[in-house]
A and B are shown apart, each in its own frame.
Chain A
Amino acid sequence: MIEVEGLTKVYRSPKKAPGLWGSLRSIFYREYKKVTAVDQASFRIAAGERVGFLGPNGAGKTTILKMLAGLLVPTGGTVTVAGFTPSERRPEFLRRITLVMGQKQQLLWDLPARETFELNRALFDLDKAQYGATLDELIALLELEPLLDRPVRNLSLGERMKCELAAALLHRPDVLFLDEPTIGLDVTMQVAVRRFIGEWNRRNGATVLLTSHYMADIAALCPRVIVVASGQVRYDGALDELVAQYAPDRHVVVRLLRPPTAEEAAQSAPLSQVDGRMEALVPVSEVKAVVDRALRTLPVSDLTVEEPPLEEVIARLFAREKR
């Protein structure tokens, strides 16, 4: 469905010295610097896959998405999406994709969302019966009925995002580019949006490419992740493997019926006492032995083995990149 080879994007950005002198000088002489936002990125994505793009701010994730959607023309490399070259922005291509940007909206601000839906029907030249059926499905899935006739400016951020998703999917695209679709939403709305995207993928087999700063979005939706840092692809594979690779430890926590004796505490090493409980970061290969020993030697009331949060895994990955 998506083939990317050596994709590169270099921006030309004006440089201006600070202050009044810098402003005056820039009238007559303007310097530019080249910023490589994406550097030789290559990957392939099959139809129906759900792939998450991870990376720190400015890593190049959104730039990649914009090139895949055809908004930006690459400086180098090749991209094909559903057999089309996105930057040509042929109508046949635009009917097959959609791009939802959490920080940019397509809804008409002063009109009810229904007007934007109708506008999109016209712009995509959708058959009225098909449009009606899709709209009904989206209204049901996203619970839009109470929102449809209120001006968009009167909707909450979460309500607007639900309407944005509906507007973006009316033409039933095969490929969904979602750039921070849950940004700024409260937890309940994040879950609702996440569930909807997953459900839409299951029902329609659409390919989903997602960027998000909320790791919960990635964990819930994307079995595969592509990690981008400094414009380069640093990891491309299963999310589980990424976690195994960058988080080889588990957090073992033992809650006790009573405080341990000195002998019990010594026998349960490497667990150590923290705030009335025993805990330690343990390599995966040693977890079983540590748990067995704790159960044998300590007055255990509860025992948990936790993976580190995904945020921490990614932070470790980026920290390693910086070194």
Chain B
Amino acid sequence: MNTYAAAARAFPSLLKTGLAEMVSYRVELVIWALTATMPLLMMFIWDRVAATGPVGGYDQNAFAGYFAGTLIVRQLTTAWVVWDLNEQIRTGSISPALLKPLGPLWLSAAENLAAVPFRMLVLVPIITCICLWRPELALGLAWADVPAAAAALALGWMVYFFIQVCFGALCFYTEQSGGIYMGFYGLFTLFSGYLFPLDLMPAGILSVVQWLPFRAIIQTPVSIITGQLHGAAVLAPMAHQLAWAVICAALARWSWRHGIRRYEAYGA
């Protein structure tokens, strides 16, 4: 039987379970969502920096729009599967899930995606406040670009999720890969557009960074939902996203399949 067809049939039920779990952790979820508000902090910092004039073409409204977009993208493309895998592989609690015809990553994906509606609920009041604070902010997504924005968000999430699976699968070799992942996360915050728009980087560094996967997770979707990129201009960055989504999916599949042969099912 085709695993993907089975997964497609199962996915609505997996999402329903993920949603039920989210509801049972609703307070915790809101707190987690609120901890991912680094873009708000960066917005206020860059707003002060741009108070005396535009920085690299960004004035206060542009920064407000950019970081409002970053906040939205960060909330909607986030994943935490690496932490689940760290815990479950080390303690052996992943064992029952490994004995199901649909592997545990499908359920993890569903759980991570099930949080999206809750995260959107957290976003609404925050974005409303930003809009009231900077009514002229640059957040102009045209209706025609909505499908591209949705696709860019989906691709950004896939890149991030599969990268996390790669780091999570390292647990099969190292017992704990959370520290190694934090190394990646440091680079992610620098090179994804999370802390500042990438076009503020020196051209030499930017020419390297643009080939790396990081901008696929934040900068590309942000550029589309803020209206910085539209029409045919979205194609090249989305092709970059797609390429990295495929590469990361292949790497995740390879590292999972090899790693799992080293699983030692501790704890029972």
Contacts and interface: CB of A to CB of B under 8 A. Distances in A.
Contacts of A97: 99
Nearest to A66: B265
Interface in B4-34: 6, 9-10, 12-14, 16-17, 20-21, 24-25
A125 B101 contact: yes
A91 B17 contact: no
A72 B263 contact: yes
A232 interface: no
B13 A121 contact: yes
Given A98-B99, A106-B97, A72 B14 contact: no
Contact of A111 (B10, B21, B99): B21
Interface in B66-97: 92-93, 95-97
Contact of A99 (B99, B102, B264): B99
A103 interface: yes
A17 B17 CA distance: 45
A106 B101 contact: no
A103 B268 contact: yes
A151 B3 CA distance: 31
Interface residues of B, number: 32
A119 B9 CA distance: 12
A123 B92 contact: no
B218 to A, nearest CB: 32
A89 B98 contact: yes
Nearest to A112: B20
Interface in A97-126: 97-99, 101-106, 108, 110-111, 115, 118-125
Given A104-B92, A104-B93, A72 B264 contact: yes
Contacts of A87: 261
Nearest to A119: B17
Nearest to A13: B264
A190 interface: no
Interface of A: 11, 62, 66, 69-73, 87, 89, 91-92, 94-95, 97-99, 101-106, 108, 110-111, 115, 118-125, 151, 179
28 contacts: A66-B265, A70-B98, A70-B99, A71-B98, A72-B263, A72-B264, A72-B265, A73-B261, A91-B1, A91-B101, A94-B101, A95-B101, A97-B99, A98-B99, A103-B268, A104-B93, A104-B95, A104-B267, A104-B268, A108-B21, A111-B21, A111-B24, A115-B20, A119-B13, A122-B13, A122-B102, A123-B107, A151-B24
